[in-house]
Amino acid sequence: MTARLFTFVCEFRGATNVSQVSAPDEQGAVREWARRLRTERPFGRASSYIGKTAEADLKDKLPPIAIRGVSNVWCITGICGGDLMLANIVETVSPANGS
């Protein structure tokens, strides 16, 4: 299966992080995003917990939720330290020149 490009726009504790990952589908994208959260740590120590929670939700059969009325857009949420994490996932068209 061909890898697709996904853009994550994640809000947590007043900060916004935008990142992109390649994966075969939206669930694979969440796994890759979670791995990157743990290594890049955009939300400090909370990044690891957010990533683990996102992966645990997939294992518990809680996939990203498709946003009604639009194509190729999903949402995931979680709670970390009592604070809401909201991430929107958008399948993104890769530029023709690869940049």
* pLDDT 10s digits, 22-50: 999 999 999 999 999 999 999 999 999 99
Q: Tell me, what's the pLDDT at 98?
A: 63
**Distance, first Cα to last Cα, the chain:** 22
Residue at 93: amino acid letter: V
Domains of the chain: total: 1
Q: What is the pLDDT of residues 46-78, one digit of tens each?
A: 999 999 999 999 999 999 999 999 999 999 999
Structure letter (DSSP) for residue 1: -
Q: Is residue 65 part of a domain?
A: yes
Question: Which helix or strand (DSSP H or E) is residue 53 part of?
Answer: helix 46-59
State pTM to two decimals.
0.91
Residue 97 lies in a domain: no
What phi-psi label fits residue 20: left (phi over 0), alpha (psi between -120 and 50 degrees) or beta? beta
- Does residue 61 form part of some domain? yes
- Which residue segment(s) compose the domain that 13 sits in? 4-92
- C-alpha distances (whole Å) from 89 to each of 26, 30, 97 are 8, 9, 23
For residue 47, is it within any domain? yes
CB 41 within 8 A of CB 48: yes
pLDDT band at 93 (very low <50, low <70, confident <90, very high): confident
